[in-house]
Amino acid sequence: MGKATGFLEYERVDGPVTKEAERVKDFYEFHGKLSLEEQRKQAARCMDCGVPFCQAGLMIAGMASGCPLHNLVPEVNDLVYQGRLEQAYQRLSVTHSFPEFTCRVCPALCEAACTCGLHNAPVATKENEKTVIEYAYEHGLVKEEAPKVRTGKKVAVIGSGPSGLAAAQLLNRRGHEVTVYERKDRVGGLLRYGIPNMKLEKSVIDRRVKLMEEAGVKFVVNADVGASLPAAQLEAEYDAIILACGASHPRDINAPGRDAKGIYFAVDFLGQVTKSLLDSDFKKVPYELAKDKDVIVIGGGDTGNDCVGSCIRLGARSVTQLEMMPKPSESRLPSNPWPEWPRILKVDYGQEEAIWKFGEDPRVYQTTVKEFIKDEKGNLKEVVLVSLEAKKDEKTGRMNMVPVAGSEKTVPAQLVLIAAGFLGSESYVTEAFGVEVDGRTNVKTKPCGYRTSKEKIFTAGDMHRGQSLVVWAIAEGRGAAKEVDAALMGYTNL
């Protein structure tokens, strides 16, 4: 696919990125696009490899390799190379519900598994995808057609994140009457309030939701199912219910002084920032949350990085990001061969901005918080950090990160953001619907299935598989829609 010799003729070139000094002044997206001619060259690098792991979506060594949606990446790249963007959009739409989301926030599992990336830079599939979907929007190609015939079946989707939206999209196209319930004040779930605006502008969500509404999907916000809205009421009203509430139970840090004022879960903090921006139409930036504060971010993942970038924009005096695990290698180790997901050191946008502002990478490895120290008013003023080392548990044989005696040090901190991941679904929802959960509190189903232990109740997304990526959530939502459709109609053509 692409030009047969393209990968030999063209080097990888990414789209323009606004310099740190400018982009930290606001919360708008800062990744630009290449010209169509240059993007065609990037698509030409797709090398007709014969074994396209990019679209495999396989689990290798416990990690995903290739796209979980099984997008036919070489075919899309070939159409971009030919300049046939309308056909490229049509091809992409067969397998993908929302390319506009993944082209902005996905870590590009497809690129990590690209054969071209075995010895050179991988094909810029993510930016090719962005070119396709933005061209489609600009030229009026993106439509959510209302079904000509309705089935008479009613489906409730609980949660409006990527899995819930994907399920609602397909079930509405099939002709079912779909209502999506969201406990927050706006639709989007984690896309809306868990991902900062500079990473995913919320207008990108709004334009897709508008199309879905016009096609007949109903959205109900401020509806906390299982709390203010009884689960039994929905069970009586709908023929099928999909639980797509996410893995929204955050992992805590249980250390002395945890009750100090100034400690927040990362997703709550990020949501507060976004809500303030949206409520004021971006006229009010909530500088008071972090301005002139020493910030400690606990967690080295994507959410931790988002906190770093957000706090820099809010005027933090210093930002330190703690990572429990050792610093990754800068290149693949023999134990981590292609096409496994590369466990290597990456510098994301938040870390780039911290390096620009403070002169060094904000990440401190093999370190965690041992104690939070309060002032006389109960406000956080310092944290005690402790180094960690790997030690084998003699009983289980597992390696654990344990504190190093005598390594404690006290540093100033007036704001701590806990980005240590999530433990699974929230119990008040699963208990309200009476569905079984597994040992990690994910909703239990049969392998490769979406039907729960409760009649006519299904599940999808992080609530089903645990904390994961947007692309996995979309794949789950599409899979759940197919199973629900078959249950309601006796067969499915989704």
Mean pLDDT of the chain: 96
Report d(CA 421, CA 250) in Å as an integer: 6
CATH code of 104's domain? 1.10.1060.10
pLDDT band at 397 (very low <50, low <70, confident <90, very high): confident
| DSSP alpha helix (H) spans, 24-108 | 36-44, 73-81, 85-95, 99-105
Task: Give the span between the Cα atoms of 270 and 196, in whole angstroms.
Answer: 7
In the chain, the percentage of residues whose pLDDT exceeds 90 is 95
Number of structural domains in the chain? 3
Domain for residue 285, yes or no?
A: yes
86 and 225 housed in the same domain: no
375: left (phi over 0), alpha (psi -120 to 50) or beta: beta
Indicate whether 2 pLDDT > 80. Answer: no
Report if residue 253 sits inside a domain: no
The answer to whether the beta carbons of residues 40 and 78 sit under 8 Å apart is no
**Does the structure show a pLDDT above 80 at 123?**
yes
Angle at 235 between CA 230 and CA 239, to 5 degrees: 150
Whether 367 is covered by a domain: the verdict is yes
With respect to residue 400, please indicate whether it lies within any of the assigned structural domains.
yes
Q: Is 310 helix (H, G, I), strand (E, B) or coil?
A: helix
Q: CA 450, CA 477: separation in Å to the nearest integer?
A: 9
Residues 268 and 231 in one domain: no
CATH of the domain at 344: 3.50.50.60
- End position of a domain, from candidates 77, 106, 138: 138
Q: What is the pLDDT of residue 1?
A: 58
Q: Provide the pLDDT for residue 395.
A: 85
Both 290 and 230 in one domain: the answer is no
Q: What are 78-111's pLDDT values in tens digits?
A: 999 999 999 999 999 999 999 999 999 999 999 9
Same domain? 379 vs 474: no
Strands 177-181 and 154-158 turn out to be parallel
What is the predicted pLDDT for the residue at 386? 98
Both 385 and 453 in one domain: the answer is no
Residue 254 lies in a domain: no
SS3 484: helix
pLDDT, one tens digit per residue, over 184-207 is: 999 999 999 999 999 999 999 999
pLDDT, residue 134, reads: 98
Domain-ending residue, one of 138, 164, 198: 138
DSSP 386: E
Are β-strands 263-265 and 177-181 bridged in parallel, bridged antiparallel, or unpaired? unpaired
| Alpha-carbon span 471 to 477, nearest angstrom | 10
| 118 and 97, same domain (yes or no) | yes
| 12 & 67 share domain | yes
* Same domain, residue pair 412 and 270: yes
Q: pLDDT tens digit string along 226-264? A: 999 999 999 999 999 999 999 988 999 999 999 999 999
Report CA 221 to chain centroid distance, whole Å. Answer: 21
CA angle 122, 123, 124 (to 5 degrees): 110
Question: Do 374 and 352 have their domain in common?
Answer: yes
For the entire predicted model, the pTM comes to 0.96
**Does 255 fall in a domain?**
no
Residue 143 lies in a domain: no
User: Which is higher by pLDDT, 292 or 2?
Assistant: 292
Compute the average pLDDT of residues 217-227: 98
Mean pLDDT of 332-342: 94
Q: H or E segment at 473? A: helix 470-489
- Give the Cα separation of 427 and 436 in Å (integer): 11
Q: For the chain, how far is it from start to end, CA to CA, in angstroms?
A: 28
Indicate the residue among 393, 418, 443 that finishes a domain: 418
335 and 407 inside one domain? yes
411 and 338 belong to one structural domain: yes
* Res. 121: pLDDT tops 80: yes
Task: Let me know if residue 291 belongs to a domain.
Answer: yes
More confident residue, 17 or 423: 17
Same domain, 339 and 277: yes
Range of the domain at 372: 263-418
